[in-house]
Amino acid sequence: MVFGSIVTSPRSALSPHQALQLARIYLDNACGAADVNITLVLCHDTEVSLTQAKRSAKHSEDSILHEGVANTYVDLGNLLYSRGHYGEAQTSFKKAQKLG
């Protein structure tokens, strides 16, 4: 997809650390969004990017990646919980716990 001179690329082209960084960007924007629908879309985008980073973290000895993914899942869970999405929050907390 092309927007002017900006070309979007698939997330699969990102390294695990880049996917984690993208997840943090989505999450930071979700925290600041006033519109609940935008918040939820950004939370979903956070989850998609985290899933990519998590796949690599499972098979890696990179403790920074492990910790970053786990912490981002906790932060996502906290945001979802604060917005009344308790089930989704619990899912995020469980994913963080599995990563240790």
Q: What is the 3-state secondary structure (H, E, C) of 34-66?
A: CCHHHHHHHHHHHHHHHHHHHHHHHCCCCHHHH
Label residue 51 by pLDDT band (50, 70, 90). very high
Domain ranges in the chain are: 14-99
The mean predicted confidence, pLDDT, of the chain is: 88
How far out from the chain centre does Cα 90 lie?
Answer: 15
**Do the Cβ atoms of 52 and 12 come closer than 8 Å?**
yes
Handedness of CA 87, 90, 92, 94 (dihedral sign): negative
Label residue 56 by pLDDT band (50, 70, 90). confident
Q: What's the average model confidence in pLDDT over 67-95?
A: 96
Give Cβ neighbours of residue 48 (< 8 Å, ≥ 6 apart): 11
Distance (Å, rounded) from C-alpha 31 to C-alpha 5?
A: 29
